[in-house]
Amino acid sequence: MKSEKGTLPETPSGMSIPDSTLVAVCDRRSFLRTAALPCIATCASAFVGGPLAAPLLAAPAAENDAQFVREAQFYEKLAYKKIKCKLCPRECVIDDRERGYCGARENRGGTYYTLVHSRVVTAHIDPIEKKPFFHVLPGTLAFSIATAGCNVNCKMCQNWEISQVRPEQVRATYAPPAKVAELARENRCPAIAYTYSEPVIFYEYVVDTAQAAHEVGVRSVVVTGGYVSEEPLKKLCKAVDAIKVDLKAYSEKFYKEVVNGELKHVLNTLVTIRKQGMWNEIVYLVVPTLNDSDQEFQGLARWIKSDLGPDVPLHFSRFHPEYLLKNLPPTPLETLERAKAIADAEGLHYVYIGNVPGHPAESTYCPKCRKVVVERLGYTVGAVHLKHGKCEYCHTPIPGLWS
């Protein structure tokens, strides 16, 4: 099923899980339009390969929000029943009965709870290239899930209808970790992707599901804005198999004005991921007039090369008007090609252009002999010229998780 938003990265699209398999549990709740779940009402013919997903657990009684609530990790109790959240750099100090910035975690009587464990608002089977992961299990499918909530508020958010809402404002399904793992396995998805909104804010669910997935031979990949504190990040790196970070810009000004965050924390995240030996790819969504200067592209490329290494894949992705930036045009192709040229010139080995189906910069080239080692057209993988993770032609190692 095609997304209404075309080929944007990481909006719910691709194969959807039939409605019969996901049972809404919040029927009596008033909710926003179910941006994601209507596209779940497709028939079996929408699937490409693989059987229908097995039914999930039957819905419990309506309004049973308690099933989604678990004590949160990474927080500190303060006086007067306040708590300080330690999951992300915001370190929200939260009064009793209140929530932090993300809206997905709540202080109840001085104990902090996640409200979104197993609370899936969208579930799809997507090509893993859509995340995008270009150096992870090419040509395979990722069982992709999200809960509501996010710890930033990017004005160009493509998924704001689930990321910028509170959990009770959008219909959800109870999908415990073991069930998600089983669904992934049954649908021949070698990986689960935690994506669309912000997996950091459904942290406990990610870690629990990743563990359940590993038990049945399924990997886990995370698509995140990278706004996470070091301690939880290190633990996350032990639980999952790959992390893709959306680096929104290489400027503090953009982070402050457009993202409502700080760049330095995301750069710290990238360094930590590298030090943990975790596979990482970076997406930079190029927004016309806001983060598209040569200076930024060059600064970014130099920083990546010096602090992360030239082998980290960098995807320059085309922006489409959405949410609070509907006044801006889509990214011109020339801008994306200019960004790529600058990054290539700085010595990065794997620089891609995203959201431009058919562009040659979607394919992976050997940095030594420049032959195509993974051919791509949109999210479709064509010929793969790798042997044991090396270029088939000149035997240069091509880093990634290839099998």
Partner 1 sequence: MQAAFDRDNPLEAWRQVVRPGEVVGLKVNCLAGKGISTNVPLVEAVCERLQQAGIKDIVIWDRLNSDLESARFRVNERGGPIRCFGNDTLGYEQELSTYGSVGSLLARTLTQVCDAVISLPVLKDHGIAGVTMALKNVFGAIHNPNKYHLDVGNPYIADVNMLAPIRSKFRLHICDATTAQYEGGPSFMPQWTWPYNGLLVARDPVALDYTGWQIIERKRAEKGMKPLKEMKREPAYIATAADAHHRIGINDPKKIEVMEV
Which amino acid, 132?
P
- CB nearer to partner 1: give 169 or 173: 169
Calpha distance 130→145 (Å, rounded): 13
Torsion of CA 244, 284, 148, 217, to 10 degrees: -20
Span near partner 1 by CB under 8 A; candidates 12-20, 28-36, 218-226, 354-362: 28-36
Choose which of 86, 99, 219, 376 interacts with partner 1 (CB under 8 A): 99
Q: What is the rounded end-to-end Cα distance, in angstroms, of the chain?
A: 27
Choose which of 260, 293, 298, 363 interacts with partner 1 (CB under 8 A): 260
Q: Does 165 bind partner 1 (CB under 8 A)?
A: yes
3-class DSSP state of 224: strand
Q: Which one-letter DSSP state was computed for residue 9?
A: T
Name residue, tokens 């919040």.
Answer: 26
Choose which of 100, 177, 226, 400 interacts with partner 1 (CB under 8 A): 100
Q: Does 232 bind partner 1 (CB under 8 A)?
A: no
Q: Does 302 bind partner 1 (CB under 8 A)?
A: no
Q: Which tokens in the block code for residue 78? A: 């303060």
Choose which of 77, 97, 238, 387 interacts with partner 1 (CB under 8 A): 97
Span near partner 1 by CB under 8 A; candidates 98-106, 310-318, 343-351, 352-360: 98-106
Choose which of 10, 129, 168, 281 interacts with partner 1 (CB under 8 A): 168
Which amino acid, 121?
V
Nearest to 279 by CA among 139, 400, 118, 138: 400
Span near partner 1 by CB under 8 A; candidates 8-16, 66-74, 164-172, 233-241: 164-172
Buried b (16+ CB within 10 A) or exposed e, 286-311: bbbebbbeeebbbebbbbbbeebebb
Span near partner 1 by CB under 8 A; candidates 165-173, 181-189, 232-240, 339-347: 165-173
Q: Does 32 bind partner 1 (CB under 8 A)?
A: yes
- CB nearer to partner 1: give 323 or 402: 323
Calpha distance 138→240 (Å, rounded): 17
Q: Does 225 bind partner 1 (CB under 8 A)?
A: no
Q: Does 111 bind partner 1 (CB under 8 A)?
A: no
Could you tell me the smallest distance in angstroms from the CB atom of residue 267 to partner 1? 20
Span near partner 1 by CB under 8 A; candidates 26-34, 311-319, 356-364, 376-384: 26-34
Choose which of 23, 24, 93, 372 interacts with partner 1 (CB under 8 A): 93
> Can you count the helices (H) and strands (E) in the chain?
8, 22
Nearest to 156 by CA among 37, 264, 8: 8
Q: Does 401 bind partner 1 (CB under 8 A)?
A: no
Calpha distance 11→14 (Å, rounded): 9
Q: Does 124 bind partner 1 (CB under 8 A)?
A: no
Q: Which tokens in the block code for residue 128? A: 């893993």
Could you tell me the smallest distance in angstroms from the CB atom of residue 89 to partner 1? 13
Span near partner 1 by CB under 8 A; candidates 78-86, 237-245, 340-348, 370-378: 78-86
Calpha distance 303→247 (Å, rounded): 12
Q: CA 313, 318, 321 angle in degrees (round to 5)?
A: 145
Binding residues (CB under 8 A) for partner 1: these are 29-33, 80-82, 93, 95-103, 153, 155, 164-166, 168-169, 260, 323-324
